[in-house]
Amino acid sequence: MGNASEGVQAVIFDFDGTLAHLTIDFGLMRSKVLEIVRAHGLPDEDLEGMYALELVEEACRRAPDADGLGRRCAEAIEAVELAAASEACLVDGVAKALHALREAGLRVGVITRNCRRAVLAVDPGLLDRVDALVAREDAHRVKPDPGHVRQCLEIMGATEARVAIVGDHPMDMATAGHAGALGVGVLTGNSSAADLEDAGADVVVADVPAAVAWILERRRVGG
């Protein structure tokens, strides 16, 4: 990654904790999913430490009624996400920062493991400010799989672009690493600078406006 900031042509943002102050109760989400898995008579002892989405994926591999199980789990997950969205708000300065990137000629995208309904409930105007939104139900594979990034770039018509990924979670920095992108960590979520650096962040800044200022300054001085 290193000096990739000098020629960044596209910026892809995480949503929860990055563009928005949105706190999802993942413990509640996992417990609801595990309750559904147990109701389908599936063993769950080795599933409890997984993220909810990976838990559902693995449980569906084992289930005779994978479609029914997947549908019930998806409904439970979305209910938790929408409840969190009802109490969320955008990080200060986000709209102006996204506008600055597009004014500078960069493509702007959002990838998220959250559902599209929750994202647009928090920011109904997001689709006017970005070139692509690839939410969970839109994605062929969700991050940290680099396919999530590639799909976003394809939608933006920027498959050959040099990319920066901005996020608040170590998973975002891992995603950047898998995709060969610049990893820009922000401190508006629950992760520390050390957490983000340990996950491979190229730089850690306070928030999205600071991340955009950093990217644009490196473009200005680095060409």
62 shares a domain with 76: yes
Q: How far apart (Å, rounded) are the C-alpha atoms in residues 205 and 37?
A: 40
User: Is there a contact between 190 and 75 (Cβ–Cβ < 8 Å)?
Assistant: no
- Please give the C-alpha separations between residue 81 and each of 3, 52, 76, 97, in angstroms, as whole numbers: 36, 12, 9, 25
113 shares a domain with 204: yes
Q: What is the pLDDT of residue 221?
A: 76
**Secondary structure of the chain: what % helix, strand, coil (to 5)?**
50, 15, 35
Q: Are strands 89-90 and 20-21 parallel, antiparallel or unpaired?
A: antiparallel
> Running along the chain, 223 residues long, what does each successive block of 10 average in pLDDT?
66 98 93 90 78 89 88 96 97 98 97 97 97 96 96 95 96 97 97 98 98 93 64
46 shares a domain with 139: no
Query: What confidence tens digit (pLDDT) does each residue in 56-100 have?
Result: 888 888 888 889 999 999 999 999 999 999 999 999 999 999 999
Q: Where does residue 106 rank: exposed (0-12), middle (13-18), buried (19+ CB within 10 A)?
A: buried
The residues near 50 (Cβ < 8 Å, ≥ 6 apart) are: 30, 58
Q: What is the pLDDT of residue 220?
A: 80
Q: Where does residue 201 rank: exposed (0-12), middle (13-18), buried (19+ CB within 10 A)?
A: buried
**Count of residues making up the chain:** 223
Q: What is the pLDDT of residue 47?
A: 80
214 shares a domain with 161: yes
User: Is there a contact between 222 and 9 (Cβ–Cβ < 8 Å)?
Assistant: no
Q: What is the pLDDT of residue 79?
A: 97
Side-chain-side CA neighbours of residue 47 (13 Å): 23
The domain boundary, picked from 35, 60, 85, lies at 85
Q: What is the pLDDT of residue 223?
A: 47
Domain count, the chain: 2
8 shares a domain with 103: yes
Side-chain-side CA neighbours of residue 105 (13 Å): 6
190 shares a domain with 97: yes
97 shares a domain with 68: no
Q: At what angle do helices 66-85 and 52-62 cross, to 10 degrees?
A: 170
The domain of 116 spans 2-21+89-222
107 shares a domain with 188: yes
Q: What is the pLDDT of residue 5?
A: 52
